[in-house]
Chains A and B, each alone.
Chain A
Amino acid sequence: MKEMKLFLGPQHPGMHGNASVHMFVDGDIIKRSYLLPGMLYRGFEKQMERKLWVNNIALIPRVCVPEPDINEMAFASGAEKLLKLEIPERAHWIRMIILEFARISAHLMAYGGLGGPTGNYTLMYHAHADRNNILDIFEKITGARVYHQYIVIGGVRQDLPKGIEKDMHTFLDSLESRLKEYRDLGIDNASIIKRIKDTIMLPAEVVWELGVTGIGMRSAVNKAYDIRKVAPYARYDQVEFEVPVSDYSDARSRLDIKIKEVQQSINIIRQCLEKMPEGPVRVKPARGQSMRWTVPKGHVYSMVESSRGEFGYYMVSNGGTHPYRVGVRGASYPQGLLGIEKYLPGTRIDDAALWVDTMGICSPEIDR
C-alpha cells in the first residue's frame, strides 16, 4: 500500500497544545514523521529583549502554559545570578512551594492527559478536578489562577496569605490519599497497561543522543539525574526527597515515575511548610523606581528542573534596563523535534498521541 499522509494536530484532540505531527504511514505503522512547530511562535525571545527587566515578569510565564512558574524561577534566578543578589531566606522556601505545586499540577495534567490517547476520560476528569484545586490555591497565593507572575527578581512578589497553609495541607492530604486511585485507574489498569507497556521505548543511548532530560532521562539511565539533586537551587539541598528512577523506559515506567514524583513533591511541600522561616520575602534588585533597574553585564545560563526536564534560560545583559538577549531552552525541545523525527517512526499511529503525551512535550516552549 502506498504511504499515506496523516497529520496529528494542530487541531486534534490527541495533541497537547498547538503543534502538528506530520506522519507518513503505511497501514498503521508510521514510516516517517516530523513535528511542525511554530504554531505558537510569538517571537518570545525578541519580545523579552524589548521589555524591561521588571515587566518581563508579565511575559515570561507565557513560555510554558501548563507550568508557568518554572519560567519565572529560571528568569528570576538568572537575573539574580547576574546581579549577585542574595534573596531573603523565606522567599526561597515560598518559591519551592510554588514550584512543587506547579510540578504537581503539570504532572496531574500530563497524567490526566493519558486519558485522551487511551480513552479513559474518567481519569482525565479526576485529574483535572484535583488540578483545579491547585489552581485555586495558586489564585489565593498569587492572585491569578494560571499566570501567577509571582516569582520575581529579588524574591517573591508578596508573602503567603494568612491561613493558606491549612488549605495546602488539606489538599495535599486528599491528593495523597487518592494517588492509589490514580494508579488503579491509569497505569495499573489492565486495559491501559496493554497500551503503555513495552511501547514508546526510550533506551539510554537515545537519551544521550537526543539530549532528553527529566523523567525521560531518569527512567532510562537509572540515575537520579535531577537538577534539584545534582545542582540544587533555592533550598532543595535542605529538604529530603527521593528521585524515582528506572532502567527501562517505556510509557508505563515514565508515567509511574510521574506519579511517584507527585508523592515526592507532596513531601517537599510539607517539609517546606514546616521549615519555612519567617521574615521578608522580597528585596529590590536596585535602588530607584523599577523602570530604571539595571542588571550588570554578563552571560548566565539559569536552569530549573521542570516537570518535563531541564528548563533553561540563557540570559545576556549589557548592563541596561532591558535584557540584551534571552534564549529559552524548552525542556521538551530535544524529544519534541529530533525525537519525533527519529524515534516516532516505527510505532503505530495509535501510539503517536501517547508518544507526545508521555514524553512530556509542551509545544509553547518549543515554539516560544
Chain B
Amino acid sequence: MKSTKFTPVPLTKAETDKKWWEIGDFFRRNSLWLLMYCTGCCAIELPPAMTSAYDMERLGMGPMATPRQADILLVSGYLSLKTLRRLIYTYEQMSEPRYVVALGSCPINGGIYHDSHAVINQLDQYIPVDVYVAGCMPNTEAVMNGFVDLMDQIKHKRANGWKKYHENYSWYKANQITSLGEVDVHDEFHE
C-alpha cells in the first residue's frame, strides 16, 4: 500500500489571513444581526419579517438592541437630515465587518421625497451600501430575499462597503458635510 505522506504546504501570511477570513465569512453570513434603526417607513415591514409570519431567525438573523452588537445597519427607507446625522454616528459605532442594507426607493434616489428639502437622495453618498431592495415599501418577501442576497454577496467577498468607507473616508466625509453642514449633533443634550 502506498503511503501518502502528508506534507503541509506552507501558507504565506496573506494566504492564512485569507483562509481565516473565509472561515469568518462563513460565520458572519450565517449569523447576521440587524440593527433595527427605524429610519423610515419601510421599518413597518420588519416586524413581520422578524416575527412569526416570516421568522427570519431561520436564517440566523435577529434584531439587536445596540449598534455595537449588530452586523447589518438596516436603513429602512428615507433619511431625513436629522436622522442621517445619527445614522452616520451609529454606523461608525458598529464593529467591523459591517454591512448596510437599504430598503425601499428612497435611499436609492430619493423616492417620493426626491425634491424634499429635508430628505437626502442617495445614501451611498454618505455611507457605503451593500444591498438595495426595491419597492415602496418592499414586501416582506423582498426584504428577506434582500438579506439572502447580502449573504451571497458576503460569500463572494463582494460586500466590502465597510472597507470602502475606510478607503474613501474623506470623500464620504466631504459629502456628509456638503449635505448636512455639520455631521456632529449639537443640541442641549449633547453639550
Q: How far is the CA of A252 from the CA of B67 in the complex (A)?
A: 32
Size category, B interface: 35 or more
* Residue B52 interfacial (CB < 8 Å): yes
Q: How large is the interface on A (under 10, 10 to 19, 20 to 34, 35 or more residues)?
A: 35 or more
Q: Could you tell me if A47 and B189 are in contact, using CB atoms closer than 8 angstroms?
A: no
- In the bound complex, residues from chain B placing their C-beta under 8 Å from that of A129 are 51-53
Bound-state CA distance A109–B188 (Å) is: 33
A7 to B38, CA, bound (A): 16
Binary interface encoding of chain B residues 67-98 relative to chain A, with 1 for a CB under 8 A from any of its CBs, else 0: 10000000000101011001000100000000
- Docked CA distance A38–B80 (Å): 8
Q: Is A146 positioned at the interface, with any CB of B under 8 Å from its CB?
A: yes
Contact B137 A146 (CB under 8 A): yes
User: Is there an interface contact between A42 and B118, defined as CB atoms closer than 8 Å?
Assistant: yes
Are A46 and B47 closer than 8 Å at their CB atoms? no
Nearest to A145 among chain B residues (CB) is: B139
Interface contact B35-A11, CB-CB below 8 Å: yes
Expressed in whole angstroms, the Cα–Cα distance for A27 and B137 within the complex equals 42
CB of A166, distance to nearest CB on chain B (Å): 21
Q: Does chain A have a CB within 8 A of B43?
A: yes
Majority secondary structure of chain B interface residues (helix, strand, loop or mixed)? mixed
Q: Does A276 contact B (CB under 8 A)?
A: no
Residue A254 interfacial (CB < 8 Å): no
| CB closest chain-B residue, reference A136 | B53
Cα–Cα, bound, A146→B140 (Å):
11
A132 contacts partner chain B, Cβ-Cβ < 8 Å: yes
Stretch at the interface among A120-128, A307-315, A343-351: A120-128
Question: Would you call B189 and A36 a contact (CB within 8 A)?
Answer: yes
- Alpha-carbon distance between A5 and B40 when the two chains are bound, in angstroms: 26
Contacts A41-B118, A128-B48 given; indicate if A10 touches B63 (C-beta within 8 A): no
From the candidates B41, B83, B117, name the one contacting A65 in the complex (CB within 8 A). B41
* A13 B51 Cβ-Cβ under 8 A: no
- Asked if A43 lies at the interface with its beta carbon under 8 angstroms from chain B, I say yes
The distance from the CB of A149 to the nearest CB of chain B, in whole angstroms, is: 11
- A328 CB to closest chain B CB (Å) equals 15
**Once the chains bind, are B113 and A47 in contact (CB under 8 Å)?**
yes
B174 an interface residue at 8 Å Cβ cutoff? Answer: no
Q: A43-B118, A126-B52, A132-B48 are in contact. Are A62 and B82 (CB under 8 A)?
A: no
Contact present for B47 and A109 (CB under 8 Å) = yes
Picked from B48, B65, B118, the residue with its CB within 8 Å of the CB of A135 is B48
Q: How far is the CB of B89 from chain A (nearest CB, A)?
A: 9
- Closest chain-A Cβ to B187's Cβ sits at a distance in Å of 7
B115 within 8 Å of A by Cβ?
A: yes
Nearest chain B CB to A246 CB, angstrom units = 28
Known: A17-B38, A125-B52. A43 touches B119 (CB 8 A): yes
Contacts of A146 in B (CB 8 A): 41, 44-45, 137
A261 to B148, CA, bound (A): 39
Is A22 close to B, CB under 8 A?
Answer: yes
| A-facing residues in B97-118 (Cβ within 8 Å) | 112-113, 115-118
CB contact list, A146-205 vs B, under 8 A: 146-147
Residue B165 at the chain A interface, CB threshold 8 Å: no
By a CB distance below 8 angstroms, the chain B residues around A147 are: 41, 136-137
Chain B residues contacting A243 (CB-CB under 8 Å) are none
The chain A residue with its CB closest to the CB of B54 is: A132
Contact of A18 among B40, B116, B187 (CB under 8 A): B40
Q: B37 touching A11 by the CB < 8 A rule?
A: yes
- Which of A38, A39, A41, A131 has the most chain B CB within a 10 Å cutoff? A39
B140 to chain A, nearest CB (A): 8
Q: Is there an interface contact between A13 and B65, defined as CB atoms closer than 8 Å?
A: yes
Chain B minimum-CB-distance residue to A10: B86
- State whether the Cβ of B36 lies closer than 8 Å to any Cβ in chain A: yes
Give me the interface of B with A, judged by CB distance under 8 Å. 35-41, 43-45, 47-48, 51-54, 63, 65, 67, 78, 80, 82-83, 86, 90, 112-113, 115-119, 136-137, 139-140, 187-189
* Chain A residues proximal to chain B, CB less than 8 Å: 5, 7, 10-13, 15, 17-18, 22, 36, 38-43, 46-47, 50, 58-59, 62, 65-66, 109, 124-126, 128-129, 131-132, 135, 145-147, 364, 367
What are 5 inter-chain pairs, A to B, with CB distance below 8 A?
A: A38-B80, A58-B112, A109-B47, A129-B51, A129-B52
Q: A10-B86, A40-B40, A146-B45 are in contact. List 17 more A-B contacts (CB 8 A).
A: A10-B38, A11-B35, A11-B90, A18-B37, A18-B38, A42-B119, A46-B116, A62-B112, A65-B41, A65-B44, A128-B48, A131-B48, A132-B52, A132-B54, A147-B136, A147-B137, A364-B41
